[in-house]
Amino acid sequence: MLTPRARRRLRALVIAAAGAIACTLLPARAPAAAVLVITAPGSEPAAITSDELALVYRRQKTLVDGTRVQPVNLPAAHPLRRWFSQQVLGQPPEAMEGYWRDLYFNGVVPPFVLASEEAVIRFVASTPGAIGYVSACPGDKRVRVLMQLDGGPPCPR
């Protein structure tokens, strides 16, 4: 028979062991990553502000430093697209559907949607004036970083 003191110690050990086991079995929450706004190396614009970036992605600004910019997006369900839309445009991708429907009937098309971050990098690297966003894990030498946005979703690569 265990004494009350021994029972408390045993309970504490069991709780500590259960916590240790849970920590090893459950996936760790990945830290937030940076998101890079990218363009082709050697292309303009030299820099862009967050407000200008929002205007570019809403197609309210098509020239930056005299260069015609071509924004590209990831699919609406992609975690990076959702984060980018919330942070830069202030609303999720679904909330922009009506906005784009109205603009489309006035001859303004939404940014291209590319299937993956690799597709964004390839398109931006080969298209003058293209601008996109990718995870900063790790950066890619084919493109130039215009801006870094901190606090993005965990790095998927």
Residue 154 has pLDDT above 80, yes or no: no
Q: Which amino acid does the sequence have at 81?
A: R
Q: Return phi, psi of residue 92, to 5°.
A: -70, 165
Looking at per-residue confidence, does 129 or 31 come out higher? 129
pLDDT in tens, 40-54: 887 766 678 889 999
What is the rounded distance in angstroms from the CA atom of residue 72 to the CA atom of residue 118? 12
pTM > 0.75: yes or no: no
pLDDT of residue 66: 80
Give the model's confidence band at 57: pLDDT under 50 very low, under 70 low, under 90 confident, else very high: very high
What is the rounded distance in angstroms from the CA atom of residue 28 to the CA atom of residue 40? 35
State which CATH number among 3.40.190.10, 1.20.1250.20, 3.40.50.620, 3.50.50.60 fits the domain covering 33-152.
3.40.190.10
Are 155 and 35 within 8 A, CB to CB?
A: no
pLDDT in tens, 74-112: 999 999 999 999 999 999 999 988 888 888 888 888 999
pLDDT of residue 132: 93
What is the rounded distance in angstroms from the CA atom of residue 20 to the CA atom of residue 44? 52
Q: Which residue has the tokens 């500590």?
A: 16
Give the model's confidence band at 20: pLDDT under 50 very low, under 70 low, under 90 confident, else very high: very low
Are 150 and 32 within 8 A, CB to CB?
A: yes
Q: How far is CA 25 from CA 21, 28, 105, 109, 131, in A?
A: 6, 9, 52, 47, 40
pLDDT of residue 1: 64
Query: Considering the chain, what is the average pLDDT of its residues?
Result: 78
Residue ranges per domain, the chain?
33-152
pLDDT of residue 47: 75
